[in-house]
C-alpha cells in the first residue's frame, strides 16, 4: 500500500487470548508501511498497543510473536483445548496468572475474603519485559489505554501524551473481575475496559485530522444459532461484546471518515471458553487470521475510489 503520508489510527478491542489476532493484524499493517500515529486499546488490546509503541519499529513484529510464544500453553486439538481451558480457569496460566490465596477458598467458613481468583504478578513481569515504557511515553505513537471506573461505571482514558503510562494502566485495563483483582490508579479503582466499552473507538475521534481508522474487533455480533449449550454460551458472549461494538460505532460520528471494521472470524473457535484458550495452535491460528483479514481489508481500501 505504501506510506502516502496519511495518518493511520488503530483501535484494538479486548478479548484475552483472542488478542493474538491483533498481533497478526499489526504485521499486515507494518507490511503495508502505513503511518500509524495513534492507537487506542482496551484490555489485551491495550497490552498489544503498548508492546507495539514500546518497541523500535524493526522489533515490533518480533516482540509480539515472542510475547505470544511466552504465553502459549500446550494442548491437543478438539476436546484437548476444552480441557486446557478448564485447567486454566482452575489453576491459571503460569506465564500470566496463578491462583490467589485464599482465592476461591474465601467461600469456606473462617477464611478471609479475597478480591480475585488469581494474582497477576507474572503478567506484570511479562509486560515489563516486553514494553520499554520510556520509549512508549516518548510519544512516537500516541497510545490511549482505557479502563472502567468501578465506582462510577464510566470509561477512563489514559494517554501517553498527557501522562506517562505505566504497567499499572495496562493491568487496570485488563483486570477482568472476578478472575483478576481491581487496580488502583490515582486513588480510583479500575476494572477491565471491556465491561463498559470493549472497542475504544470514541477515544480516537477527538480530532478531525484526515486519517484512516482501522478497528480490530475480537467478537462478531453476527453469527448462526448454535445447537449445543456450550455453543449457545459462546454465541451469547459474541453477542454481548459484538453488539456493544455496534453501539459504540453507531454512537460515533464517522461522517467523512475513512473507517474500516476488521472482525475476527474463526470457525474453529466455536466454544465458550475460547477467550482463555492459550494453546499455541490457537494463538498461531488467530495471528494468521489477523494478518490475512487485515491484509484483505487494506487491499479493499486501495481499491476504493477516491472521495
The residues annotated as belonging to the active site are 43, 192
For the chain, helix (H) and strand (E) counts, in that order, are 9, 10
Are 209 and 7 a contacting pair, CB within 8 Å? yes
Considering only the C-alpha atoms of the chain, give the largest distance between any 2 of them, rounded to a whole number of Å. Answer: 68
- Calculate Rg over the CA atoms of the chain: 19
Which alpha helices (H) appear in 32-160, and where do they start and end?
44-53, 60-71, 79-91, 121-130, 133-137
Among the listed residues 220, 288, 252, 304, the one whose alpha carbon sits nearest the alpha carbon of residue 13: 220
288: exposed, middle or buried (C-beta count within 10 Å: 0-12, 13-18, 19+)? middle
Q: Please say whether the beta carbons of 159 and 191 come within 8 A.
A: no
What's the half-sphere exposure (Cβ side, CA atoms, 13 Å) at 186? 8
How far apart are the C-alpha atoms of 108 and 111, rounded to whole Å? 6
As a residue count, the chain comes to 307
Residue 162 grid coordinates: 498527557
Amino acid at each position: 500500500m505504501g506510506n502516502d503520508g496519511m495518518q493511520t489510527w488503530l483501535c484494538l478491542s479486548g478479548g484475552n487470548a483472542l488478542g493474538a489476532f491483533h498481533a497478526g493484524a499489526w504485521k499486515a499493517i507494518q507490511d503495508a508501511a502505513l503511518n500509524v500515529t495513534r492507537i487506542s486499546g482496551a484490555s489485551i488490546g491495550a497490552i498489544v498497543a503498548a508492546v507495539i509503541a514500546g518497541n523500535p519499529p524493526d522489533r515490533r513484529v518480533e516482540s509480539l510473536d515472542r510475547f505470544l510464544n511466552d504465553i502459549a500453553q500446550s494442548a491437543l486439538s478438539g476436546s484437548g483445548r476444552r480441557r486446557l481451558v478448564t485447567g486454566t480457569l482452575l489453576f491459571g496460566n503460569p506465564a500470566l496468572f496463578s491462583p490467589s490465596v485464599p482465592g476461591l477458598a474465601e467461600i469456606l467458613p473462617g477464611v478471609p475474603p479475597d478480591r480475585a481468583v488469581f494474582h497477576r504478578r507474572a503478567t506484570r513481569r511479562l509486560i515489563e519485559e516486553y514494553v520499554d515504557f520510556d520509549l512508549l511515553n516518548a510519544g512516537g505513537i500516541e497510545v490511549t489505554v482505557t479502563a472502567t471506573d468501578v465506582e462510577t461505571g464510566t470509561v477512563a482514558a489514559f494517554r501517553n501524551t498527557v501522562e506517562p503510562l505505566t504497567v499499572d494502566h495496562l493491568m487496570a485495563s485488563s483486570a477482568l473481575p472476578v478472575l483478576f483483582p481491581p487496580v488502583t490508579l490515582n486513588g480510583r479503582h479500575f476494572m477491565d475496559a471491556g465491561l463498559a466499552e470493549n472497542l475504544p473507538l470514541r477515544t480516537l475521534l477527538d480530532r478531525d485530522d484526515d486519517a484512516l481508522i482501522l478497528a480490530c474487533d475480537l467478537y462478531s455480533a453476527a453469527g448462526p444459532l448454535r445447537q449445543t449449550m456450550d455453543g449457545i454460551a459462546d454465541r451469547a458472549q459474541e453477542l454481548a461484546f459484538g453488539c456493544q461494538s455496534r453501539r459504540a460505532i453507531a454512537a460515533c460520528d464517522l461522517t467523512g471518515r475513512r473507517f474500516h471494521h476488521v472482525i475476527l472470524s474463526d470457525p474453529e473457535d466455536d466454544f465458550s471458553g475460547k477467550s482463555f484458550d492459550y494453546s499455541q495452535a490457537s494463538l498461531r491460528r488467530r495471528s494468521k487470521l489477523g494478518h490475512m483479514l487485515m491484509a484483505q481489508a487494506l487491499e479493499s481500501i486501495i481499491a476504493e475510489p477516491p472521495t
